[in-house]
Amino acid sequence: MKQIADQDLIASGRRTVRLEQQAVAALEERIGEGFTRACRLILECHGRVVVTGMGKSGHIGHKIAATLASTGTPAFFVHPGEASHGDLGMITRGDLVLAISNSGNSPEILTLLPILKRLGLPMITMTGKLHSPLAEAAQAVLDVSVVSEACPLDLAPTSSTTATLVMGDALAVALLEARGFTAEDFALSHPGGVLGRRLLLRVSDIMHAGDAVPRVKPGTSLLGALAEITAKGLGMTTVVDDQQQLLGVFTDGDLRRAVDRGYDIRSVALDAIMTRNPSVIGQNALAAEALTIMENRKITTLVVTDEHKRAVGVVHMHDLLRAGLV
């Protein structure tokens, strides 16, 4: 291997970025009639978008299919080589094919054209050759041609795959907006992600409820309140009346403040040192809302109340941590 200077490595990397930027910038003027036709075909499709491509185009196709599927357009990837050996059974009438080929002449995809035509499936192609067999067979053509690859040999797919990936993102986003796809819709297809948890997880899913809720009556001694706090392990207790109406909360912070103010903790009434009108949240609220309240008010627990202002649960910051919201 020949010796190469650091500045030459930097120059090579920068040249690659510059050439790929130019390839992407050229796409903007090509977003026109072919793009709108492709969008209309997908919006009118009652089945799935079947993405296919060979080699590096196939790798990009996997990503485009995943992006479409996660943004409201049912889609999946089929390898064109495997399609000829049984995977065509995954494609049904009512589907639409998005074929990716920079040359527009991939034999594995061209072999599928008679079958796709027999099934009556519309086809969109992303290609760098507008007069190729694949482009001529398609109902909509998305031009992803590049002046040259970033590879100095002009061989390895680099600029062309980047341009194709960006065109796929442009298609997915346009469809997302056309469908009125919302953040909550996104969360439904991403329940394992942070966004999904923030938009789907409710307070009722993580709160302590029933006998796990620390409760004492007004007039309880301080020692009695401390015993309840210790038993339930949440660092606080609710103070409720006979109908479970929330009157206040007593926390270890309230205890420290009582000592600082000179109260005789052996005789002081709990009612005198508890926090009245504490922060509360409804059980149907998003858990992310509970996190916001705790962070803004610098507290670690939040009482959950129902529509009658009865204490039905408690959310602790540790619960939010375990749920992956923090």
Residue 225 has pLDDT above 60, yes or no: yes
The answer to whether residues 122 and 77 belong to one domain is yes
For the chain, the average pLDDT equals 89
The answer to whether residues 23 and 129 belong to one domain is yes
**Within a domain: 198:** no
Can you read off the two tokens belonging to residue 243? 């109908």
**Within a domain: 142:** yes
Residue 298 burial (C-beta neighbours within 10 Å; 0-12, 13-18, 19+): exposed
Q: Give the confidence band of 221 by pLDDT, cuts at 50, 70, 90.
A: confident
- Cβ(278)–Cβ(249) below 8 Å: yes
- pLDDT tens profile 83-140: 877 788 888 889 999 999 999 999 999 999 998 998 899 999 999 999 999 999 999 9
User: CATH code at 216?
Assistant: 3.10.580.10
Backbone dihedral angles phi then psi of residue 316, each to the nearest 5 degrees: -110, 150
**Within a domain: 193:** no
Give the H/E segment covering residue 201: none
Q: Give the confidence band of 184 by pLDDT, cuts at 50, 70, 90.
A: low
Of 181, 212, 244, which residue is a domain's last? 181
The answer to whether residues 99 and 47 belong to one domain is yes
pLDDT above 90 covers what percent of the chain? 61
3-state secondary structure of 127: strand
Query: Residues of 247-271 as b/e, b for ≥16 C-beta within 10 angstroms?
Result: bbbbbeebbeebeeeebeeeeeebe
Q: Give the confidence band of 195 by pLDDT, cuts at 50, 70, 90.
A: low
- Give me the mean pLDDT over the 244-253 stretch: 91
- Give me the mean pLDDT over the 37-53 stretch: 96
**Within a domain: 207:** yes
- Give me the mean pLDDT over the 247-251 stretch: 92
Q: Give the confidence band of 199 by pLDDT, cuts at 50, 70, 90.
A: low
- DSSP structure class, residue 190: -
Q: In whole angstroms, what is the distance from residue 106 CA to residue 53 CA?
A: 8
Q: In whole angstroms, what is the distance from residue 21 CA to residue 169 CA?
A: 15
User: CATH code at 131?
Assistant: 3.40.50.10490
- pLDDT tens profile 266-322: 778 788 889 899 999 999 888 888 889 999 999 999 999 999 899 999 999 998 888
**Within a domain: 187:** no
The answer to whether residues 127 and 257 belong to one domain is no
The answer to whether residues 165 and 36 belong to one domain is yes
- Give me the mean pLDDT over the 159-181 stretch: 94
Residue 191 has pLDDT above 60, yes or no: no
The confidence score (pLDDT) of residue 250 equals 92
The confidence score (pLDDT) of residue 314 equals 95
Q: Give the confidence band of 185 by pLDDT, cuts at 50, 70, 90.
A: low
The answer to whether residues 167 and 214 belong to one domain is no
The confidence score (pLDDT) of residue 139 equals 96
Q: Give the confidence band of 187 by pLDDT, cuts at 50, 70, 90.
A: low
**Within a domain: 190:** no
The answer to whether residues 79 and 146 belong to one domain is yes
Can you read off the two tokens belonging to residue 208? 């302590």
The answer to whether residues 61 and 95 belong to one domain is yes
Number of domains in the chain: 2
The answer to whether residues 247 and 316 belong to one domain is yes
DSSP string, 232-294: HTSSEEEEE-TT-BEEEEEEHHHHHHHHHTT--TTT--HHHHSEES--EEETTSBHHHHHHHH
Q: In whole angstroms, what is the distance from residue 200 CA to residue 196 CA?
A: 6
- Cβ(123)–Cβ(135) below 8 Å: no
Residue 193 has pLDDT above 60, yes or no: no
Q: Which amino acid is at 82?
A: E
The answer to whether residues 231 and 295 belong to one domain is yes
- Those residues whose C-beta lies under 8 Å from the C-beta of residue 138, and which sit 6 or more positions away, are 99, 123, 124, 125
Top-confidence residue, 219 or 237: 237
**Within a domain: 18:** yes
The answer to whether residues 50 and 140 belong to one domain is yes
Q: How many helices (H) and strands (E) does the chain have?
A: 16, 13
**Within a domain: 223:** yes
The domain containing residue 158 runs over which residues? Answer: 6-181
State in Å, rounded, how far the first CA of the chain is from the last one.
Answer: 49
pTM of the model: 0.66
- pLDDT tens profile 52-83: 999 999 999 999 999 999 888 999 999 998 88
The answer to whether residues 251 and 116 belong to one domain is no
Q: In whole angstroms, what is the distance from residue 219 CA to residue 196 CA?
A: 44
Can you read off the two tokens belonging to residue 269? 């009434």
Residue 194 has pLDDT above 60, yes or no: no
The confidence score (pLDDT) of residue 90 equals 86
Top-confidence residue, 136 or 192: 136
